[in-house]
Amino acid sequence: MIQFAKYHGCGNNFIIVKEEDARGQDYSALAQAVCSTATGIGADGLIIVREDPQLEMVFYNMDGSRAPMCGNGIRCFAAYCFDNGIRTEKVYPVQTLAGEMIVNMMETSPFLVKISMGKPSFKSADFGVLNGSETFLDQQLETTEGAFTVSSCFMGTVHTVVWVDEFPSETAAGQLSNHPVFTEKTNVNFVKRIDSKTLAIKTYERGVGFTFACGTGACASLVMGLRQGKCESKVTVRLPYGQLIIEQLPDGEVTMAGPAVRVAEGTYIQEEI
């Protein structure tokens, strides 16, 4: 039996477990088991809270694949740490596979946090693209539903941004995510420009499918929009279950501010995995 909590950030939901309660587990198998909506608790991903030697967020997608970072996940991680007395100071670092992220708690009731998400990289080598050029910007990719103009970067994890008037089907999104040019697959963000300060985004996450929100995807969308002159350096991202405030600072650092909500706590009665 494993003690867990479930949180969501703008509808993107996670099972959170302390490492001490899951020690000895195969985290990939555990993620698939607990995230199953049919036989588990149901979630988009599993977060392991590692406290030793440093505070670290260990993140797995629902399909068992490990991801370097998750924007909505790290806000939920911060809320969990506050709720459980692991970290109560206003500003502190969190280690991830994508590097150190800085948490800045803005409010605690309701919980609102700003995360320093680092700087984007446009180097193809940093996100596993095989196209023979240094970057992967404004490229045409074919699907069974037509061609899409895409641009990719590394923003805590690999992200591809597509500007659209209407959100496409899951079939087309999946074909872009799994396109052979991406050696590690890619998250795909379909972005509608409402105005220069407002974006609406629908993200197809590799290993998950369409989700209600993606924090790193919102950051990547702002970065691409600013590069292409489609938006200002600070935008509100509209999502079905909330909104995020994304800003790129003059030094290139990207920040994300948004909520995290505790949904449930309990005991996962483990089957054989």
Active site (annotated) includes residue 81: no
Under 8 Å between Cβ of 264 and 8: no
Q: Is 51 annotated as a binding residue?
A: no
Q: What residues contact residue 216 under an 8 Å CB cut-off, 6+ apart?
A: 69, 70, 71, 117, 155, 156, 157, 159, 187
Q: Is 205 annotated as a binding residue?
A: yes
Q: Is 12 annotated as a binding residue?
A: yes
Q: Is 266 annotated as a binding residue?
A: no
Instruction: Give the C-alpha separation, 237 to 229, whole Å.
Output: 17
Under 8 Å between Cβ of 124 and 80: no
Cα angle: 166, vertex 240, 46; to 5 degrees? 110
Tokens of 117: 């998400």
Q: Is 216 annotated as a binding residue?
A: yes
Q: Is 215 annotated as a binding residue?
A: yes
Active site (annotated) includes residue 214: yes
Catalytic residue chosen out of the listed positions 35, 81, 153, 214: 214
Per the DSSP assignment, residues forming a β-bridge with 266 are: 4
Inter-axis angle of helices 71-83 and 215-227, to 10 degrees? Answer: 140
Catalytic residue chosen out of the listed positions 10, 35, 70, 231: 70
Binding residues: 12, 61, 71-72, 187, 205-206, 215-216
**Which sequence positions are flagged as catalytic?**
70, 214
Binding residues for substrate: 12, 61, 71-72, 187, 205-206, 215-216
